[in-house]
Chain A
Amino acid sequence: EAQVTQNPRYLITVTGKKLTVTCSQNMNHEYMSWYRQDPGLGLRQIYYSMNVEVTDKGDVPEGYKVSRKEKRNFPLILESPSPNQTSLYFCASSPDREDQPQHFGDGTRLSIL
């Protein structure tokens, strides 16, 4: 089954404790992206990657890091999480072709205390 898989689905942690949210896709997509979703603000792009070893900032990159060492994986790293990063996070992927919609994972709910 074609899918985008995120782990963990839920995490409660404390300020300053480094965490990583993993994202994996099995569709051989070139493009991957991370979004955060907050009430009233919709989905906002954090980082994206056009292919292996190619990453770029989205609209709200502050406080986040990403890496793309393999085509299927695109982890999101919070080196020193803060309470304002409490949010619902989504990973997405798509082929690097025009007119191809992004496919989303089921989300990771992070709570930073």
Chain B
Amino acid sequence: GESVGLHLPTLSVQEGDNSIINCAYSNSASDYFIWYKQESGKGPQFIIDIRSNMDKRQGQRVTVLLNKTVKHLSLQIAATQPGDSAVYFCAEAFSGGYNKLIFGAGTRLAVHP
């Protein structure tokens, strides 16, 4: 919904540039991480996930990087397009509770032509 984006940090990029969205997670026991994209009026949409035994995972135009030492997750979007404009959430889960996701507050990505 429209109100989801209020009070969120915003990343503004030019169309065609690469975007990097960062997330600090809270639980050192978390071992499964997911990035979701939420467009206005829609529910969160799965983008990419990563297990804690990996540092990097690539999808189509997206890459997720995991740094367990500092509990940091990032989502890189290559050649950002106007359709990438949305709010992006990271979520974490831990062994034995994979379905109990803990979501970050989100970052709004604004892509300008």
Answer yes or no: do A and B interact: yes
Minimal beta-carbon separation of B46 from chain A (angstroms): 4
Segment at the interface with A among B60-68, B77-85, B103-111: B103-111
Number of residue pairs A-B, CB distance < 8 angstroms: 66
Segment at the interface with B among A60-68, A75-83, A102-110: A102-110
For residue B24, CB closer than 8 A to chain A, the reply is no
For residue B10, CB closer than 8 A to chain A, the reply is no
| Residue in chain B with minimal CB distance to A31 | B99
- In the bound complex, residues from chain A placing their C-beta under 8 Å from that of B11 are none
- In the bound complex, residues from chain B placing their C-beta under 8 Å from that of A107 are 1, 41-43
Minimal beta-carbon separation of A58 from chain B (angstroms): 8
For residue A98, CB closer than 8 A to chain B, the reply is yes
Interface string of A78-108 (1 = CB under 8 A from B): 0000000000101010101011111111110
Given known A-B contacts A39-B3, A48-B99, A94-B99, A101 and B105 have beta carbons under 8 A apart: no
Interface residues on A, range: 20 to 34
For residue A21, CB closer than 8 A to chain B, the reply is no
- In the bound complex, residues from chain A placing their C-beta under 8 Å from that of B99 are 31, 33, 48, 50, 94, 96, 102
Minimal beta-carbon separation of B71 from chain A (angstroms): 17
When chains A and B are docked, how far (Å) is the Cα of A100 from the Cα of B46? 10
| Cβ A40 vs Cβ B6 within 8 A | yes
Chain A interface residues (CB < 8 Å from chain B): 4, 31, 33, 35, 37, 39-45, 48, 50, 58, 88, 90, 92, 94, 96, 98-107, 109
